[in-house]
Amino acid sequence: MTALKKYARLESGGLWRDTQAAQRREVIVAFREASLVLSDPKSEFALSHWSLPAIERLNPGVMPALFAPGADAVETLELDDPEMIAALETVRSALAGQRAKPGRLRGFLLGSGTVLVLALGVFWLPDAVITHTASVLPAATRAAIGQAALADVQRLTGSPCASPLGSFALTALGDRLFGAHQAQILILRDGLERAAHLPGGTILIGKDMIEDEGGPEVLAGLALMERLRADLQDPILPVLEHAGLTATFRLLTSGVLPETALAGYGEKLLQGTALPVPDDLALERFRAAGLSSTPYAYAVDPSGETTLGLIEADPLNGLIPEPLMPDGDWVSLQDICSIN
């Protein structure tokens, strides 16, 4: 969209607070595709990234401007750069306008199959409508739906664990595994005893999966396999299935998912079972990432019986892998849930 292209290279300074009780810290704020990236000014590592459609201004008309990544988010960003503030307001207005007016480009893309769906609606199963809707959703809409789903999950788990050093290490690991700003790994304090994922590249991992580990290999393996599951099955599909046919059809025709459509999705995600992953595909991902599959295999099944294929065919069997992160970063990451 024109507004995003105009501000594609815009950067400014800002003051970021990861929790309400935390001290403000200086960050570099930069526009990226469908997101706002907050980075450490010295190391340039990303500390957080916000979905542009979900960003809200908390103090309209007041300076310095205060923004949050969502209505229920605990993070805040204070800005006094007029150009960056104007850019955020412009992009937010543009995105809101696209959601409200199906006659614009996004509405055209989302509604392109509406006439056909209406004509054949008697014969189409709900799964077909959901699959069609998923196939035409823009990345920004997927990210916004993912953030809405995360908000419902947080109703049960609380906010994801965060600390300056731990979040830095977690972001660095995500960049190492998937490329810069391509995924967001979050550690949940309660409610999740495994790993899960959401639309928009968000990967959720329960803290119990990392607290007793000697290194980040298990965490990396869990994140790697969740990304593979997201590639094997579009993560927007179970969200739309939960929302139901009426809400999905409204999303298809207007670009807006009703606010109540995702109520209760948190329970479904936390209580669900992980999609099985074929050993050959899993091993290929471990090989490409330069990771040993054995630590992950024993974390999933301490006996090794059900994950024997990942152990015997470990792509790094007998080899010494490159360290995923410095020891100090791993210690900080393990303590990420003890700070707040």
pLDDT digits (tens, 9 = 90+) for 292-304: 999 999 999 999 9
pLDDT, greater one: 179 or 44: 179
Chain segment 62-79, per-residue pLDDT in tens: 889 999 987 777 889 999
297 φ, ψ to 5°?
-60, -45
Residue showing tokens 């998937």: 178
Q: What is the pLDDT of residues 91-131, one digit of tens each?
A: 766 665 544 444 444 554 555 555 454 444 444 456 778 88
Q: How far is CA 3 from the centre of its chain?
A: 23
Burial of 2 (0-12, 13-18, 19+ CB in 10 A): exposed
Specify the pLDDT at position 339.
Answer: 61
Residue 8 pLDDT > 80, yes or no? no
pLDDT over 70 percentage in the chain = 86
Q: Is the pLDDT of residue 188 over 80?
A: yes
Mean pLDDT computed over 24-42:
84
Residue 23 pLDDT > 80: yes
- Comparing CA positions, the residue from 327, 181, 336, 195 lying closest to residue 269 is 195
CB burial string 75-110: b at 16+ within 10 A, e below = bbbbbebeebbebbeebbebbeebbeebeeebbebb
Tell me how far apart the alpha carbons of residues 30 and 8 are, in angstroms, rounded to a whole number: 8
Judge whether residue 166 has pLDDT over 70: yes
What are the backbone angles phi and psi of residue 270, rounded to the nearest 5°?
A: -70, -30
Which of the 8 DSSP states describes residue 274? P
pLDDT at 298: 93
**pLDDT band per the 50, 70, 90 thresholds, residue 1:** very low
The reported pLDDT for the residue numbered 79 is 92
Q: Mean pLDDT check: name the lowest of 18-22, 93-97, 161-165.
A: 93-97
The pTM of this model reads: 0.66
Residue 307: its pLDDT value, please?
94
Q: What's the whole-number mean pLDDT along residues 219-230?
A: 95
d(CA 221, CA 288): 12
What pLDDT is attached to residue 3?
47
Q: What is the reported pLDDT for 329?
A: 92
Q: What domains appear along the chain, each with residue ranges and CATH number?
A: 2-98 (2.30.29.30), 141-241+262-334 (no CATH)
- Is 233's pLDDT higher than 80? yes
Cα atoms in the Cβ-side hemisphere of radius 13 Å centred on 149: 29
Give the residue-averaged pLDDT of 172-177.
92
Query: What is the Cα gyration radius of the chain?
Result: 21
Confidence of residue 245 (pLDDT cuts 50, 70, 90): confident
d(CA 98, CA 93): 9
Q: What average pLDDT does the chain have?
A: 84
**pLDDT at 340 (0 to 100):** 54
Determine the average pLDDT of the residues in 19-35: 83
Q: What share of the chain has pLDDT > 90, as a percent?
A: 40
Q: What is the mean pLDDT of residues 177-206?
A: 91
**pLDDT of 19 above 50:** yes
Instruction: Tell me the residue type at 250.
Output: R
